[in-house]
Structure 1
Amino acid sequence: MSSDNQWSADLEESQSSRLIRKSRDSPFVLVGIAGFVTMVSYGLYKLKYRRDQKMSIHLIHMRLAAQGFVVGALTLGVLYSMYKDYIRPRFFNATKK
């Protein structure tokens, strides 16, 4: 039997090293996480001063704001990777000819 398929604890990545590796590959993931944490923190802060607004409405608004920030960051990341993979090589390769 080959030992390549066996699980080893030495090869297991920690959560922090995995996050660092993912942030190098796609930096907009960190932007999305930071925006989500910021929106949730802001929502919790504003929870104290919501006046006569219902709790459920306040939570729905904060959830939508946090999700919107994450979706926006992911969309920017996808557009950037498409630019990097498809558009930029086309222009740089055309100028070298």
Structure 2
Amino acid sequence: MSADTTSWGSGTENQASKLIEKSKKSPFVPIGMAGFAAIVGYGLYKLRTRGNTKMSVHLIHTRVAAQTCVVGAMTLGVMYSIYKEYVVKPSEANLPK
């Protein structure tokens, strides 16, 4: 009962190489992930000095800020792919050969 790795690819790729390959295709994904992690880290750091603010309100504000970062990165990624597909490619097709 050995596992057949041929159906899953060469088996030489690890998670880091897959992440690097996907980040080359869409560079805004790691930016969104890093922004999300930074905002959540900052929110946890500021949790101690939130003053009279309720815990639930602080957590909601942190969640909204993190979601804004991710949605913004996704929007920039879509705009970048539209730019590559519809602005750069048509001008490459008009070049003389």
User: TM-score when scaled to structure 2?
Assistant: 0.82
User: What is the number of residues matched between the two proteins?
Assistant: 91
1:8 is matched by which residue type in structure 2? T
User: TM-score when scaled to structure 1?
Assistant: 0.82
Which residues of 2 match residues 9-88 of structure 1 at below 5 A? 10-11=10-11, 13-88=13-88
Deviation per CA, 1:17-73: give whole Å up to 9, x if none. Answer: 211111111110010011001100110111011001000110010001001000000
Unaligned 5+ runs, structure 2: none
Paired with 1:45 and 1:71, the residues of 2 have a C-alpha distance of 23
Q: Calculate percent identity across the aligned residue pairs.
A: 52
2:5 is matched by which residue type in structure 1? S
Give the root-mean-square deviation of aligned CA atoms: 1.9
Paired with 2:13 and 2:67, the residues of 1 have a C-alpha distance of 28
Unaligned 5+ runs, structure 1: 1-5
